[in-house]
């Protein structure tokens, strides 16, 4: 029987090996250690370049067909569902910002330099540089995706939608069979270099802090969503959450909102929302409602920014949250789809370099299943809200 190791465990193993080898190899041979770390840095340079190249294509492949399909459906139902999903996603991001920017600075500063083993070594660079220029910038890709998506929806083009659907599948294949399998090696290289230069202790400590905070924020967000849904439907919010719990635990295993749709749909119907509303909104929410993923992305990005001494200002950060709600539309049903869609924004709007993006991906992927579980569980609450406001028309 072939042993299959999940992505999260592959990342954990990669980090563990990187830390172990980063400590052990220099003690055996300093010259070999520098060469080995340089080899990993060279791989990271190539992988990072490819990731930057593919980001505009990911944005177009996700957003253009996603917007085109939003043009289909019954008017008020579609409008309400889209509005509730976007508001919930943005509210989750704002909640995460204020909590993370309040809690994390004190926690991260408490992990001072005294807790880090100083090696006196600088990080090792790649053996050579290989330029992979993206075909367009991130904002150009966003604008093109909007123009194409809105255009396809307005003219009802079936042939162009079919082309972009196939392009979306192609991009999903690139993510599933190239980026995701190589991601643990990329993270291995980043952590190997950090261990070699003596920076890894603080990073791992921050990982643990951010992980706990994000799980708590997920639960807070779900409680808020179901409090609103319960108030509108005159039902106990905790009973509604219990009804939706099978969807939560299914998503923990699948790490995919799309793969969990049958369970989410079944449980959403059991909350009392009408069949017409749940049948329409649940598949839609699986692609446009990402409150849990947004909490994870915002919290992780603030953690990475604080570790790198970058300023955290709400006015400057808010546009990033608003753009997240758009760029994650129709993120594929594969682990890490949301963070892959956000990679371009991390660089252009927050100023992340390749090492920071890699840290961000590692932080995000470790908690991807919990974010997805929060997404799909929240879908049930939004379905109840939409049902309440369309009751007379359904």
Q: State mean pLDDT over 275-281.
A: 84
Q: Which of the listed ranges 61-75, 113-127, 361-375 does the model predict with the highest average pLDDT?
A: 361-375
- Residue 1 pLDDT more than 60? no
The pLDDT score that the predictor gives to residue 250 is 85
Q: How confident is the model at residue 94 (pLDDT cuts 50, 70, 90)?
A: very high
CATH number of residue 353's parent domain: 1.10.3860
Closest of 238, 237, 262 to residue 251, by C-alpha:
262
Q: Rounded CA gap, 375 and 274, in Å? A: 20
Collapsing DSSP to helix, strand or coil, 118 comes out as coil
pLDDT greater at residue 241 or residue 343: 241
- Residue 387 pLDDT more than 60? yes
Closest of 263, 58, 48 to residue 144, by C-alpha:
58
Q: What is the number of alpha carbons within 13 Å of residue 134 lying toward its C-beta?
A: 19
Q: Which residues contact 221 (CB under 8 A, 6 or more apart)?
A: 92, 95, 291, 292, 295, 374, 378
- Residue 257 pLDDT more than 90? no
Q: Is 191 domain-assigned? A: yes
The pLDDT score that the predictor gives to residue 52 is 83
Q: What is the rounded average pLDDT for all residues in the chain?
A: 85
Collapsing DSSP to helix, strand or coil, 176 comes out as helix
Residue 327 contacts residue 341 (beta carbons within 8 Å): yes
Q: Rounded CA gap, 124 and 98, in Å? A: 36
Q: Is 2 domain-assigned? A: no
End-to-end CA distance of the chain: 51
Q: Rounded CA gap, 205 and 343, in Å? A: 23
- Residue 35 pLDDT more than 80? yes
Q: Which of the listed ranges 150-164, 213-227, 280-294 does the model predict with the highest average pLDDT?
A: 213-227
Q: Is 203 domain-assigned? A: yes
- Residue 21 pLDDT more than 90? yes
Q: State mean pLDDT over 318-344.
A: 78
Number of domains in the chain: 1
Q: What angle do CA 87, 92, 97 make, to 5 degrees?
A: 125
- Residue 337 pLDDT more than 70? yes
Q: State mean pLDDT over 162-178.
A: 89
The pLDDT score that the predictor gives to residue 116 is 41
**Which tens digits make up the pLDDT trace of 221-238?**
999 999 999 999 899 999
Q: Is 1 domain-assigned? A: no
Alpha helices in the chain (DSSP H): 7-28, 30-70, 75-110, 138-155, 158-174, 180-197, 200-233, 237-254, 261-270, 275-288, 291-307, 314-327, 337-348, 354-366, 368-389
For 123, which DSSP code?
A: P
- Residue 350 pLDDT more than 60? yes
Which two three-digit tokens encode residue 326? 């758009």
Residue 125 contacts residue 355 (beta carbons within 8 Å): no
- Residue 92 pLDDT more than 60? yes
The domain in which residue 377 lies consists of 7-117+135-389
The pLDDT score that the predictor gives to residue 93 is 94
Q: What angle do CA 215, 294, 371 make, to 5 degrees?
A: 40
Q: Is 128 domain-assigned? A: no
- Residue 119 pLDDT more than 70? no
Residue 98 contacts residue 321 (beta carbons within 8 Å): no
The pLDDT score that the predictor gives to residue 384 is 93
Q: What number of residues does the chain have? A: 394
Q: Rounded CA gap, 251 and 14, in Å? A: 24
The pLDDT score that the predictor gives to residue 320 is 93
Q: Which residues contact 39 (CB under 8 A, 6 or more apart)?
A: 127
pLDDT greater at residue 161 or residue 108: 161
Q: Is 30 domain-assigned? A: yes
- Residue 295 pLDDT more than 90? yes
Q: How confident is the model at residue 378 (pLDDT cuts 50, 70, 90)?
A: very high
The pLDDT score that the predictor gives to residue 342 is 86
- Residue 9 pLDDT more than 70? yes
The pLDDT score that the predictor gives to residue 308 is 84
pLDDT greater at residue 7 or residue 330: 7
Residue 312 contacts residue 342 (beta carbons within 8 Å): no
The pLDDT score that the predictor gives to residue 112 is 53
Residue 281 gets the label, from left (phi > 0), alpha (psi -120 to 50) or beta, of: alpha
pTM of the model: 0.80
Collapsing DSSP to helix, strand or coil, 313 comes out as coil
């Amino acid at each position: 029987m072939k042993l299959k190791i999940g992505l999260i465990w592959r990342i954990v193993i990669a980090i563990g090996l990187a830390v172990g080898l980063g400590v052990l190899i220099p003690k055996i041979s300093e010259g070999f250690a520098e060469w080995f770390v340089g080899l990993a840095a060279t791989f990271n340079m190539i992988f990072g370049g490819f990731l930057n190249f593919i980001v505009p294509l990911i944005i177009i492949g996700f957003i253009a067909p996603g917007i085109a399909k939003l043009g289909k459906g019954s008017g008020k139902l579609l409008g309400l569902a889209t509005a509730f999903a976007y508001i919930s996603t943005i509210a989750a991001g704002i909640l995460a910002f204020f909590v993370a920017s309040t809690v994390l600075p004190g926690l991260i500063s408490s992990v001072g330099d005294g807790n880090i083993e100083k090696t006196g070594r600088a990080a090792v660079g790649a053996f050579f540089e290989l330029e992979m220029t993206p075909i367009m910038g991130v904002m150009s890709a966003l604008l093109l995706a909007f123009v194409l998506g809105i255009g396809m929806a307005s003219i009802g083009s079936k042939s162009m939608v079919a082309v972009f659907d196939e392009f979306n599948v192609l991009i999903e294949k690139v993510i599933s069979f190239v980026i995701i399998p190589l991601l643990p090696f990329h993270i291995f290289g980043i952590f190997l270099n950090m261990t070699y230069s003596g920076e890894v202790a603080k990073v791992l400590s921050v990982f643990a802090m951010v992980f706990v905070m994000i799980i708590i924020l997920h639960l807070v967000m779900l409680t808020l969503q179901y409090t609103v849904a319960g108030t509108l439907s005159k039902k106990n919010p905790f009973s509604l959450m219990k009804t939706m719990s099978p969807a939560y635990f299914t998503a923990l295993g699948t790490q995919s909102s799309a793969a969990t749709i049958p369970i989410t749909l079944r449980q959403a119907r059991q909350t009392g929302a009408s069949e017409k509303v749940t049948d329409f909104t649940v598949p839609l929410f699986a692609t446009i409602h990402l409150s849990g993923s947004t909490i994870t992305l915002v919290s992780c990005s603030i953690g990475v920014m604080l570790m790198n001494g970058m300023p955290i200002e709400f006015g400057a950060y808010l546009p990033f949250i608003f753009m997240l709600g758009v760029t994650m539309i129709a993120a594929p049903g594969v682990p890490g789809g949301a963070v892959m869609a956000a990679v371009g924004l991390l660089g252009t709007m927050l100023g992340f370099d390749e090492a920071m993006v890699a840290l961000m991906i590692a932080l995000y992927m470790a908690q991807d299943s919990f974010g997805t579980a929060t997404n799909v569980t929240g879908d049930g609450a939004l379905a109840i809200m939409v049902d309440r406001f369309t009751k007379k028309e359904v």
